[in-house]
Every structure is written in C-alpha cells, then in structure tokens.
Structure 1
Amino acid sequence: MLLDSIAPQSGSTVGVAMPISVVFSKPVAASARAEIEKHLKLTTSVPITGAWHWFSSSRVDFRPKSYWPTGTKVTLDAQLTAVADGNGRYGVHSYLHTFTIGADDEAHVYADRHLMKIYRNGTLVKTFPIDAGSAAYPSWSGTMAVIDKSREVLMDSCSVHIACSKSDPNYYHAYYPLAVHLTASGTYVHYSDGDPQPGHSAGSHGCIHLSMTNAQWFYDFAREGDPVTITGTPRQAAPAYNGYADYNISDWTTWTSPTSSGLGQITTTVTPPA
C-alpha cells in the first residue's frame, strides 16, 4: 500500500479551509478504513475536533468541524508500515508531513451583485467588481478552498465539455493570466481580456473575472487553502471532492457518517511542548 500524494505539502503554510487530503495508489477496502485512520496520526499545537471522510476508495480527507484556527501547527504521521488495505496489500513505509495554518484570509463572491469582498482575520481589506458565470454556464456556489495558483493557465472549452468546434461562440483555447484555482473541474479567479473592466455582466463560463490590477492583487494575496465562498448563482454547491470543497458538506453528521468515516469525530492529540 502506497500513497500517491498528501496535501498540503510538508513545510507549507496554508489557509484556514485547507483539508489534509491523502490519496492512495490502490483502492482501500471499506473494511480497512477505520484501522487506516488509526494510523493516520494527527498532532496539533491546539486541540482540534474533526474527522476523516472517504470520498472514494482511494481518497480520504481530514478537516476540522470548523475552519482551522490561525497559527495552528499540524503534524500528520502516517504510520502505514505493515498496515493492511483490505485488498491483500500492506503499507511498506510511513510518511511524515508538517504544516502551519496562516492568517484567516477569506474571499466572498456575490455573483448577482458583481462583487468580491476579501477579509483578513474578519476585517474587510478589499472590495472588487467581478463578473461571474453566465445564465448558460453559471459559477458553482458554495465554499472552495484554493487549490493552487499559476501565473498563466491554458484554458480550453473542449477539455471541460463546453465546446469543441472553433465555430461555436462558446469555444475558447487560450492562456489566461493570474489564475487562482478553485475546482478540479476548472474554476478559477483570473483576468480575462474578454471583459477587462468587469462588474456589470455575467458572461464567463463559470470562472470569476477580475480586472488586471485586481487580479494581480488577489493572485499575490491568495494562498492554498484560503476559502472562496460564492453566492448569488443558480448553480448548486460544488461537489466536496471537486478540488478542496470539503466544507460544502455542511452537515457534520454527513461528514462523520459510518459509511464515509471509519472512526467518526476525533479530537487531535496536542503536540507536547519543546
């Protein structure tokens, strides 16, 4: 039993909505989940109430019941050596990851009002005009933690099943700058030269558009795990597994249900003082 990935990266500082996301290289049987969770040992600088949640047979995420407190130091000691996955495979080594929770930086997008408000530790620091998704291609609603960001991203309408013919008015295939990534399915906050001065329409294919100046500011500000919450759109909340939209499962009993969580709610062990 091996892991494909653990997010966030060890040594990183992340936002308050960042889950711990563990992806296994092979499927894990439901009968083995509780035992594996016991070996995904979490220690934190303050006690955290949370739970693991299996999105599939190969992905399990941990998140607190509420956002992480700013400044929390987290260690994941995945002691998986010789642990069974229920499908005849066993762990061959362990993994150690540490990370820190940064400032409580949150963005709130009001799609119907063409506004985006950014807060740091509860204080409003910026208000930006935005354009969100069109009536035909509305933006996801709900809370999505930032996955990553790129100075430039190739966006292609065919890859997201919108339009593959160049004659289609919804076709696009171009590089867009200052892209803050919100969903695995391709939602970003970014600049678009299709509307260089947003704030009055809803013409994107689901992304959130900012002016060049504001996109640069938000790109510099945003970090992995920062929550971006979108309201005022007719589209449902992004599925929780679509990137790091874990908080879109707002019902805690659903997150901790026996069909999705081997151990249910836990409280982390507090890191002993140095």
Structure 2
Amino acid sequence: MSTGSRAPKALLVVLGTATALVLSGCGAGGLQIRAGSVEPASAASIVITPAPTGEPVAPAARLVVKADAGRLTAVRVVGPDGPVEGVLSVDGRTFMVAGGKLDYDSSYTVEAEAVDRVGVPTRSTTILQTVAPSSFLGFTMSPREGAVVGVGLPIRLTLDQGLPTNSARRAFERTLAVRVDGEKVDGSWSWDSSNVVSYRPAEYWPGHATVTVTARLKGQRFTSKIWGQADRTLTFATGAAMVSYVDIQKHTMRVTRDGKTVKRIPITTGKEGFTTRSGVKVISTKEPTRLMDASTGGTLVNDPEYYRLEVKWAMRLTNSGEFIHAAPWSVAEQGKENVSHGCTGMSDANAKWLYDRSRIGDVVVYTGSNREMQPWNGIGLWNTPYDEWKAGSAFA
C-alpha cells in the first residue's frame, strides 16, 4: 500500500487519548532565545527505538517513544488510515506500539511532547517510512480450516515459495505456534523440503480437542526479498480417538474408541509375496467405492496375480496401495488365513461399520510381519522416533 499522496494530520493530542510511534529528537539543550529573552531549555529529551536513520523499518518492529529526564505529555502517530494505537507506561515515560500495527509501504507522521522535572517542555516530530517488499510468503494448511480429523493427522504447511536457507526456515518456524484447547503442546516442526513443513505432537493428538495454529507473519523478513504479509490463525478439531490394532498373524483387528475396545473384526491381510507392512498407519482417504487395478502397482495384465475389480468402503493407508476395504470373496478365510495382495479385507458389513465410524487421520497399528512400514509411505511419520523427528526442525 503506497501512501505517498496521503498527507497525515499534524494535530497533537494529550496522552490518554493519543496513539503513538516513531520520533526523531529535535529538542535542544542549553538556552532558548525568544524575542530578546533567554529561556532555559528543557532537560527532557525524546528518544525512539528503533532510531530514525532514514532507512525503512519493518512493520513487525516494536516501536517505542521514550522521555529521558522527564515525562511524555502528548504523543500522536498518524498514518494513511488515521491514528495508530499505543500504550503509555504508568510512569508516563514510555509510549509503545506493538509490532505489527503498521502497514507495509506506508508513511507515518509522529509527534511527541515532553516536560522535564520543572515543567519545561520539548517536542519532536519525525516521518516514519515502512518497507515495501517485492515478494510475500503465503501457505496452505492441511487439515483445512474447520475440519474434524482423526488423532493421527499431522499439520502440513505448503509454502507458496521455498525458503532455501536454514536461517530463513528458523525465522518462519519462529512465527508459528500450536495450541491444543488453548494450552501448549509437546511437539515439533520438521521440514520435508524447502517449501513443506509438518508438525506432530510427541504422541497422537487427544480426542475431542481443538487445535489452533497461529502464524505471526506480518512484518517478518525471511530472505532479502521475501516477507510475511499478514498474520493468520487457523483451527481444526479432532474427533473421537479411533485407534485400531491389526494382528497380522492372528488375522484380527481390534477397534478402540477413546481407549475402549468397541469391536473385534476378523480380517485377512497380504499373502506370501504381498506381505502387509507392520507399523503405524493413518487413514488418508475414504471412498465408498474404488476400482482396484493391479497394473498400478506394476503387475502385468497377463500375470496370474493380476486383478481389476471394484471394492466397497475403501480407506487408504499407504501410497503404495494398502487399503482397508470390503472383501466379500474372502469371507471364508477372514480370521483364519492371509490371502490378499497386501490390503486388509473384511466382510461387507464389517467394512461399512468401520467406514461409517472412521475419519481421515484415524490410526491403524499393524504387528506380526517382518516387512516394516516406511515413514514416507503415506502418513507414516509416527514410525519415526520423536527425537529423530525433531532433528528435522530448523532449530535442531
């Protein structure tokens, strides 16, 4: 926002109703000569931080007007949208405007008056110009604003441009905060690439909770050209804590809700050559029907293991193609034998029951095979020990 043609008002108001920011001292020490008389100069002086050097300042900077050897009697900051609010200290010596109150590429006129201990006044006026960045940083978040998800879904921010250096990523992480029901949580960010960063708590999210993500971007500088444009606050919620446990050897799934077992389901998993992975998996998609085609996994059409069929109540667990779904053709083997191509099959009735009660982000823990789940294969980050996860932070 350019304000070169918008002249600020110059009227000074008394503190208590005034708003304030940046000053350049122009009071003089010694004596003042007025109309042939000699008057003592004020011992008070007005100082601002950051000091007015003529260089543009960042809107994120906390700006302070201070009276040395005296107290402030009036301060006013006026910009393109009118006065800017600030807070006067109890002793009347300091007037502060919090960071983020100013806009980019804007001019602000600041006026202040102070008196020394015997009441002799001084005044100061300056013009403050804020920076005009050439590029702003934005991002999208998963889960989306207002979503209700399972307790295993991490936060994933995708930046609209990359931050190539560790110092830039630290600056971005520093703007972020995550709270659960208003309280701090033990968790960490970890960078997947220069423009993707994810957050997970040390353990799963609690069920029935509200998660708030704040990004204090306004006025923050990340590189010589990239700045944060505006602060953002996003929220999502967790549903019931649905965590299911699959025993590959016993061919059973135990479904828990908020820590209590609510159902045991006979299942079948991957046969020899198509072994289902052990580890922590998270439901990433839900589809009432899905066409399963073995060729997407590299199986040739003339291979005896090739298949192409439509299945019901499909929930994806890995990028490589493991799903939970209805498998009515294998009901006789469910609970007894592993006969699938890696998916977890169950009856139509059980698959629909689970589908209707599941959310994206629900957790499914598999044990019983010597084939391990990879952290990159779907939402597999829970297979990374927390200390290793934290090593992906720019602050590690």
Instruction: Report the CA distance between 1:171 and its aligned residue.
Output: 1.7
Q: Which position in structure 1 is the counterpart of 2:371? A: 235
Q: Does 1:214 align with 2:346?
A: no
Q: Which position in structure 1 is the counterpart of 2:305? A: 170
1:24-35 matches, within 5 Å, as: 24-31=159-166, 32-35=168-171
Q: Aligned letter for 1:10? A: E
- 8 Å contact 2:208–2:241 — kept in the other structure? no
Q: Deviations over 1:22-47 (max 9, x none)?
A: 22344332422211112233233233
CA distance in 2, matches of 1:85, 1:154: 45
CA distance in 1, matches of 2:350, 2:305: 25
Instruction: Report the CA distance between 1:131 and its aligned residue.
Output: 0.7
Q: Deviations over 1:44-85 (max 9, x none)?
A: 323311001122333221111112222321111234456566
Q: Which position in structure 2 is the counterpart of 1:263? A: 395
Instruction: Report the CA distance between 1:88 and its aligned residue.
Output: 5.5
Instruction: Report the CA distance between 1:254 and its aligned residue.
Output: 0.7
Decide whether aligned partners of structure 1 residues 204 and 80 sit closer, same or farther in structure 2, where only a CA change above 3 A counts: farther
Q: Deviations over 1:111-165 (max 9, x none)?
A: 11101000112211100111111221111211112212110122222222x31x2
**Pairing partner for 1:41 from 174, 177, 200:** 177
TM-score, scaled relative to structure 1: 0.85
In structure 2, runs of 5+ residues without a counterpart are: 1-136
Decide whether aligned partners of structure 1 residues 155 and 72 sit closer, same or farther in structure 2, where only a CA change above 3 A counts: same
CA distance in 2, matches of 1:235, 1:141: 6
In structure 1, runs of 5+ residues without a counterpart are: 265-274
Q: Aligned letter for 1:50? A: G
Q: Aligned letter for 2:205? A: W
Q: Aligned letter for 1:262? A: A
Give the secondary-structure state (helix, strand or coil) at the position aligned to 1:218: helix
Per mean C-alpha deviation after superposition, the further-off stretch among 212-221 and 37-46 is: 37-46
Q: Does 1:188 align with 2:320?
A: no
Q: Aligned letter for 2:319? A: A
Q: Aligned letter for 2:330? A: D
CA distance in 1, matches of 2:226, 2:279: 37
1:126-205 matches, within 5 Å, as: 126-160=263-297, 162-163=298-299, 165-197=300-332, 198-205=334-341
Q: Which position in structure 1 is the counterpart of 2:143? A: 8
Q: C-alpha root-mean-square deviation of aligned residues, in Å?
A: 2.2
TM-score, scaled relative to structure 2: 0.60
Give the secondary-structure state (helix, strand or coil) at the position aligned to 2:320: coil
Which protein has the larger Cα radius of gyration, Structure 1 or Structure 2? 2
Q: Which position in structure 2 is the counterpart of 1:98? A: 235
Q: Aligned letter for 1:213? A: A
Kindly indicate whether structure 1 or structure 2 has the higher relative contact order, using CA contacts under 8 Å at least 6 residues apart: 1
CA distance in 2, matches of 1:52, 1:218: 31
Decide whether aligned partners of structure 1 residues 62 and 202 sit closer, same or farther in structure 2, where only a CA change above 3 A counts: same
- 8 Å contact 1:52–1:263 — kept in the other structure? no
CA distance in 2, matches of 1:49, 1:254: 15
